[in-house]
Copies of this chain bind each other. A is one copy, B any other.
Amino acid sequence: MFEVQGSIGAVRGFRVAGIHGGLKKSGAPDLALIVADRLCVAAGVFTRNLAKAAPILVSQEYLRTHAQTIRAVIVNTTCANALTGKKGMDDARQVTRLVADGLGLQAPQQVLPMSTGVIGTLLPMDKIASAIPQAISRLGQDWQAAAQAIMTTDTRPKMASVCVETAEGSYTIAGISKGAGMIAPNMATMLGIIATDAKISLPIAQRTLHTANEVSFNRIVVDGDTSTNDCVFLLANGASGVAIDKPSELALFERALTEVCVKLAQAIVRDGEGATKFITLRVIHAQDAASAAQIAHTIAASPLVKTAFFGQDANWGRIVAAAGRAGQPFDPDRAQLWIAPGESLPNSGHGLLLFKHGTVAKYSEADAAAIFREPSISVTLDCGVGGRGSAVVWTCDLSREYVDINADYRS
């Protein structure tokens, strides 16, 4: 019915810019602006870290009063504006004021701020103040430039879009995201901005974003760290004239939004810091869905599991051992573990059985080694407790390069 693209043409009624505003020493793009030409309904999902960055707190404040009149999102890189006290809050508000003034908006509360970068340093307000008019002057349809301008340790821009045909006409859902490290469930260092020209109500925006987020951005693990800063916004400006109000249309919208979010989330894992493998991890027959997700996240965050994938070593014992310490019901004597190449399950079932009923299964080490040499590997773990809970998490390996990137990040 629709197909998610890895690029973005245009979204009616939105203009974007991604520019170099003097923040990155390299001269790379470092400031992005997304502007709607009419009032948007907006929803956000935010980090659960208690040390929330100033732009998170300001965005939450603005959405409490202006969620139906949002007009823009402004994103800076290099400085997270996190753990920066009252001055950080003042700066975040001042950034939104500068954007609102530049665009001739009624209130700064119509502009949602996002920041990503080093924690504990203040925003370079002079540079941002000169960059904002420049960004406004460059507003257009170049979503790739915007996606590039929100990158930090990312090696490539992350975009996804889908065009949904309906009886009333078509609408687009398009999004950009960033994030490569500090990625864990519950909104780790990642930013996502999703724009749609569908016409939706505020409750629908909020509910569908939460639902989509739960099975996309909250199901990726790079390193298990959860950041101070990160959030995903959904902005809907209604410019397509297609109103999402019937149940069947709503279901379709939610599915399309979810697929865009999954594509953006997977792009983050594929570009994980130093990642050489893309791992799809399915946990089945857990007690319930939350239990399945907890087991999957524990496996995905295990340094020993991740280094085994990096070493292309079919060391399945580490996967089962990680499941055993997840704090959830798990029965090693009934558990089973399969691996398969690629991202999808093979038609023949779950793939190569490595572990069954408490002990190693009969398989050829050569077959297992061949799968572990693949760039994409699927792992399926049956928890052996006979429940109906299942979850899918996407993760990557842990390489020497991850250490290099993060040992030298500030320097």
Known contacts A87-B359, A225-B302; A49 and B311 CB within 8 A of each other: no
* A-B pairs, 5 with minimum CB distance: A119-B317, A311-B407, A85-B359, A51-B324, A307-B406
CA distance A118 to B408 in the complex (A): 33
- Size of A's binding interface in residues, CB under 8 A: 67
| A311 with B359, Cβ < 8 A, contacts A181-B304, A318-B119 known | no
Q: How far is the CA of A316 from the CA of B402 in the complex (A)?
A: 19
> Which A residues, 34 to 49, have Cβ-Cβ distances below 8 Å to chain B?
48-49
Q: A48-B325, A82-B317 are known contacts. Are A303 and B223 too (CB-CB below 8 A)?
A: yes
Q: A51-B324, A317-B119, A409-B313 are in contact. Are A403 and B85 (CB under 8 A)?
A: no
Asked if A125 is at the interface of the complex by the 8 Å CB criterion, the answer is no
Q: Name 17 A/B residue pairs within 8 A (Cβ), A-sorted.
A: A49-B325, A50-B324, A51-B321, A51-B332, A84-B359, A119-B315, A119-B317, A119-B318, A121-B360, A182-B304, A223-B304, A225-B325, A303-B303, A308-B406, A311-B407, A400-B400, A402-B403
- Return the contact of A411 from the options B313, B325, B403 (Cβ within 8 A): B313
Known: A224-B303, A330-B50, A409-B315. A119 touches B321 (CB 8 A): yes
In the complex formed, the residue of B with least CB distance to A354 is B120
Given contacts A88-B359, A311-B408, 7 further A-B contacts (CB under 8 A): A50-B324, A50-B332, A84-B358, A84-B360, A307-B402, A308-B406, A403-B403
Bound together, the chains give a CA A400 to CA B186 distance in angstroms of 27
**A411 touching B225 by the CB < 8 A rule?**
no
CA distance A320 to B225 in the complex (A): 12
A83, CB-defined interface residue at 8 Å: yes
Query: A82 to B316, alpha carbons, bound, how many Å?
Result: 12
Q: Find chain B residues with CB under 8 A from A311 CB.
A: 406-409, 411
- A395: interface (CB < 8 Å): no
Do B48 and A85 have beta carbons less than 8 Å apart? Answer: no
Interface status of A322 (Cβ within 8 A of chain B): yes
How distant is the Cα of A84 from the Cα of B227 in the complex, in angstroms?
A: 39
Q: Is there contact, CB below 8 Å, between A360 and B310?
A: no
Q: Is there contact, CB below 8 Å, between B313 and A225?
A: no
Answer whether residue A77 sits at the interface, using C-beta atoms and an 8 A cutoff: no
**Is the beta-carbon distance between A324 and B49 smaller than 8 angstroms?**
yes
Binary flags per residue of A373-411, CB closer than 8 Å to B gives 1, else 0: 000000000000000000000000011101110111111
A304 and B225 form a contact (CB under 8 A): yes
Q: Which residue of B lies closest to A307 (CB)?
A: B406
Binding site for B on A (CB under 8 A): 48-52, 80, 82-88, 118-121, 181-182, 184, 186, 223-228, 301-304, 307-308, 310-311, 313, 315-318, 320-325, 330-333, 355, 357-360, 398-400, 402-404, 406-411
Chain B residues near A228: list those with CB within 8 A.
317, 321, 324
Q: Is the CB of B406 within 8 A of A360?
A: no
Given the contacts A88-B359, A317-B119, A398 and B403 also touching, CB distance less than 8 Å: yes
List of B residues within 8 angstroms of A403 by Cβ: 307, 310, 398-400, 402-403
Partner of A304, one of B84, B88, B406: B406
Indicate which residue in B50, B80, B119, B308 contacts A407 across the interface (CB closer than 8 Å).
B308
Nearest residue, chain B, Cβ from A398: B403
Set of chain B residues within 8 Å of A118, measured between Cβ atoms: 315, 317
**In the bound complex, how far is the Cα of B315 from the Cα of A50, in angstroms?**
18
Chain B residues near A316 (CB-CB < 8 A): 120
Please indicate the chain B residues that have their CB under 8 angstroms from the CB of A358 in the complex. Answer: 83-86
B332–A225 touching, CB < 8 Å: no
Report yes or no: B320 in contact with A119, Cβ–Cβ below 8 A: yes
Most buried by B among A48, A83, A86, A184: A83
CB atoms of A51 and B407 under 8 A apart: no
Taking the closest CB of chain B, its distance from the CB of A403, in whole angstroms, is 5
